[in-house]
Structure 1
Amino acid sequence: MTPTERATHMNASTLFPRGMTAATLLAAAATMMTSCQNGFMVGPDYQTPGTDLPSSYRFDSKKNGRSAAKRDEWWRVFNDSGLNRLITQVRASNHDLKAGLKRVEQARGAIRLAAADALPNIAASPAATRSRSSAEVPNGGSTGNLFSAPLGAQWEIDLFGRIRRGVEAAGADAQASQEALDALRLSIEAEAASGYYNLRAIDREIDIVQEGVKSREGSLKLTQDRNELGAVSSLDVSQARALLATSKADLAALRRQRTAQEAALAVLAGQPASAFAIPHSPLSGKAPSIPAGLPAELLRARPDIRQAERQLVAENARIGVATAAFYPSISLSGNLGFQASDIENLFNHGARFWGIGPEVYVPIFQGGRNKANLGITQARYEEVVETYQQTILEALAEVEIRLSASHLLDTQTVAQREAVEASTEARDTATEQYDGGTASYLTVLDAERTALDAQRQQALLLGAEYTNTVNLIRALGGRW
């Protein structure tokens, strides 16, 4: 460090009159420190950035239900005991959530670490030395012992709020960490709920295809009997056998999908896939209707938005920390203890020593370091402002997408219901005509395939309705 960069140190002998005791000095210093610790703070006070929010959602529906949910129990709106059990397992055993909790604990520990700077730093350093001085110096050539039991202390006066701004930043970081954990928890819960309803939609498909396999086994047996009687050709038998084999292949594929989905849910629940199972339960009914509320409510409901806002608070406080580097810092240093050449006399009255005095550090020339650091801190704050605004826009878009999907899924479901009814009638008519000899077996096979596909598509749509509702709840922050 160059002389121009070196801090200015004040000699305690010029500040304190002779005869002043250590107790008197410490009492006066403590009074001064307490008053200064509550002084003003440099740097800007935080203000929430303005946001340009729409007054309503484009695809908001007038038929929104009156269901309501607490933030920590949003899944209960589905009134599904199986889902309740799964979410309970996820919340208790998911390892990502446990890791997130440890991150929160680390952030809370950082608050205590930052707050420790506002307290005195006290340390003891007892020592025992035996030494011999050089015989080539005056009064040299002697050997002796030196025993000491000193106690040193240093206390920085937070005159310009550097420490308090640091504690403020650490506190906001801890709050952001908690919001990040809440966002992670909501995300994992929604992922588990979506996977659960995908699984139940697959179960419904499995039932449909299993019923189709039974029906086609009966059709094949009937066709084989008719072929033996000469009523139909072997082509009809081959076509019936091919349709049955296709259905069995579809059933195997669905069971494979179910196994994979169940294994994914086991991971979310923190369980080995080999020891985890969800009973077969075909999806039915209708997903609950969720009111979207007002766009401004997202700022309070979504944990990711609250996380971004807490990060803003932290970066704003760090601007204060960087600003305080331009100002002088004052520390109070002191030491007291005992020192003697004979350990038996170490704690005698005459072995006492003490010293106390202030130390002032004045930044005169830093080579532009403080200015560069302040610029970096301000740029980081502005970056987080943009992230905050982007998070809000993405949240609004996510809600709009889910509301739009809800509208379109309703329309699609009505049309698909008509398709199922029409294809079922066509299948029955084709079967009657085939039995009456007025239609080919190929017509029957096409009608059966169309009817089965329509029923499977209906099951998929029902699953999509449930998962879209889950994702809408997630987009709304898990409460409304």
Structure 2
Amino acid sequence: MRALRWLPLALAAAGCTMAPHPRPAPTLQLPAAWRTAPGGEGIVARDWWRAFGDPALDALVRRALDNNGDLRIARSRLEEYRARVRVAQSANQPAMNLSFAPTRARVIGPLGQPIDTTSIVGSVQASYELDLFGRIAAATQAARFEELSQEAAFDAAALAIVANTASGYFNLLGLDAQLALARETLASRERSFTLARHQFEVGYSSRLEMSQAEAELHATAAVVPQLERAIAQQEQALSLLVGAHPGPVARGVPLLEVRLPAPSPGLPSELLRRRPDIAQAERLVAASDASLAAARDALLPSIRFTASLGAQGGSIARLLRDPVELWSIGGSVLAPIFDAGRLRAQADIAATVRDRALFAYENAVRAGFAETENALAGIDGLRRQSDEAEARSRAANEVLRVARNRYRNGYASYLEELDAQRTAFSAETNVLQLRASLLAAHVDLYRALGGGWTPAP
């Protein structure tokens, strides 16, 4: 109890000179509305990929969530942080140890003769630190917030894997459609070359027209292996995402039959509770605040109680029959007086970690707003661009029909039809590419909105 009389002095010496660590001033400004007027309806569901209406995509996403290697790593990391919480919580409980120490020694007696002694000691020791100033509680709270941040990090990783899988799948459908168009166009080029060669052979057209038809045939033929190679590479990328060996990927709905959902982005302020990466950054701020509190509390005295109960005997038999009882009870107050500024420096380090966590949170929020705005603008622009591309494709195919009729009826040269073929092929390819890009833009919007994520209670 005499040691407790020095407690107020230790408190004054250890804690009163620690300067506060105020938070940096916030710089976030939340927009009142989105720049691009959204026309969506309904909330974003947790299984948002089903809104595209493709069963093959559903199966692919499920495989990715079950088998993706990065998700397995994130899941293992989450288990690690859950174990860290248990480690931090253990500091709130008493610690008990059992010891058993047999000793055989030879010493010199008072008259100079050797004496052999045997001593067997068994004891149970217990210790407990009284968390009078909340240091252990703050450290436990920091570990808990770090675990929660890892839960959000796992959800963010899962959202990224699902979005990458959906984007890769739609890119694959786009390549499939372009390959089908290229093969269809190649067959048409072969028929055109056959006709041009026949007309050259009968003297109706020149070698120039036949050579240009042949050149166009080979140019179209070169597109086919290029698309086949791109399809194979995209299939390997999707296989890697779903944790499978390289191989073919099952397709479902054709590209032009995939539904275009219309998710509602809601208000910009709602985005702060929708995205797991923002939740992760927010929880890291809370964890760093608790770590700073624990670092500052380390400057205050710590109070520890200890007790031990044991027995000693010259042999195991005597230890069991007639032991000498040993016991001790004590307490200690440890207050830092001089440590060359180590504890204060650790508190300053914890404050800088807290500040960086705040800056990272603001960056995550800004990135979320920017990604959502980009996705909304991308959908709006690609939809209008796709409408114009479809109109151009219809007009180009009409030009091709007229040019083909004029050539077959002898009113125009083959060069006119050849030019119309190139324009029509380019226009149709552009329609397919824009359709795949529009689907990917919808995936980007789902990703930017958090993919229907809700924080765990």
Tell me the TM-score normalised to structure 2 length: 0.91
2:250 partner SS: coil
Contact 1:194 1:467 in 2 (8 A): yes
Deviation at 1:422, TM superposition (A): 1.4
Contact 1:9 1:360 in 2 (8 A): no
Matched, 1:102 2:73: no
Mapping of residues 195-206 of structure 1, within 5 Å = 195-206=168-179
2:332 partner SS: strand
Contact 2:57 2:252 in 1 (8 A): no
Deviation at 1:199, TM superposition (A): 0.3
Deviation at 1:351, TM superposition (A): 2.0
Deviation at 1:277, TM superposition (A): 2.5
The one of 277, 282, 288 equivalent to 2:254 is: 282
Matched, 1:154 2:131: no
Deviation at 1:130, TM superposition (A): 0.9
Contact 2:312 2:323 in 1 (8 A): no
Query: What does the per-residue CA deviation read over 1:206-255, in whole Å, with 9 as the maximum and x for residues that have no partner?
Result: 11111101111111122222222221222222211111111111011111
Aligned-partner residue type, residue 277 of structure 1: V
Contact 1:209 1:250 in 2 (8 A): yes
Mapping of residues 54-203 of structure 1, within 5 Å = 54-61=31-38, 63-64=39-40, 66-71=41-46, 73-135=47-109, 137=110, 141-203=114-176
Task: Single out whichever of 304-313 and 442-451 deviates more from structure 2.
Answer: 442-451
The 1-side partners of 2:166 and 2:442 are apart by 10
1:143 partner SS: strand
1:332 partner SS: strand
The one of 366, 389, 393 equivalent to 1:393 is: 366
Deviation at 1:477, TM superposition (A): 0.4
Query: What does the per-residue CA deviation read over 1:323-380, in whole Å, with 9 as the maximum and x for residues that have no partner?
Result: 1111110101111111011220103454221111111101112211121111111121
Aligned-partner residue type, residue 93 of structure 1: N
Structure 1 equivalent of residue 13 of structure 2 = none
Structure 1 equivalent of residue 383 of structure 2 = 410
Structure 2 equivalent of residue 230 of structure 1 = 203
Task: Single out whichever of 88-97 and 439-448 deviates more from structure 2.
Answer: 439-448
Structure 2 equivalent of residue 40 of structure 1 = none
Deviation at 1:55, TM superposition (A): 1.3
The 2-side partners of 1:121 and 1:378 are apart by 31
Structure 2 equivalent of residue 445 of structure 1 = 418
The 1-side partners of 2:189 and 2:395 are apart by 20
The 1-side partners of 2:31 and 2:251 are apart by 44
The 1-side partners of 2:267 and 2:396 are apart by 42
Identity %: 33
Deviation at 1:10, TM superposition (A): 5.1
In the superposition, relative to structure 1, how do residues 76 and 142 fare at CA in structure 2: closer, same or farther (>3 Å)? same
Aligned-partner residue type, residue 187 of structure 1: A
Matched, 1:432 2:382: no
Deviation at 1:49, TM superposition (A): 6.8
Deviation at 1:258, TM superposition (A): 0.5
Gaps of 5+ in 1: 1-7, 12-42
The 2-side partners of 1:346 and 1:367 are apart by 48
Structure 2 equivalent of residue 467 of structure 1 = 440
The 1-side partners of 2:2 and 2:197 are apart by 108
In the superposition, relative to structure 1, how do residues 10 and 146 fare at CA in structure 2: closer, same or farther (>3 Å)? farther
The 1-side partners of 2:391 and 2:140 are apart by 64
Deviation at 1:45, TM superposition (A): 12
The 1-side partners of 2:426 and 2:252 are apart by 21
In the superposition, relative to structure 1, how do residues 231 and 415 fare at CA in structure 2: closer, same or farther (>3 Å)? same
The 2-side partners of 1:193 and 1:87 are apart by 7
Deviation at 1:436, TM superposition (A): 2.5
The 1-side partners of 2:270 and 2:26 are apart by 16
2:256 partner SS: coil
Tell me the TM-score normalised to structure 1 length: 0.87
The 2-side partners of 1:257 and 1:432 are apart by 36
Matched, 1:253 2:226: yes
Task: Single out whichever of 75-84 and 282-291 deviates more from structure 2.
Answer: 282-291
1:118 partner SS: coil
1:69 partner SS: coil
Q: CA RMSD in A?
A: 2.3
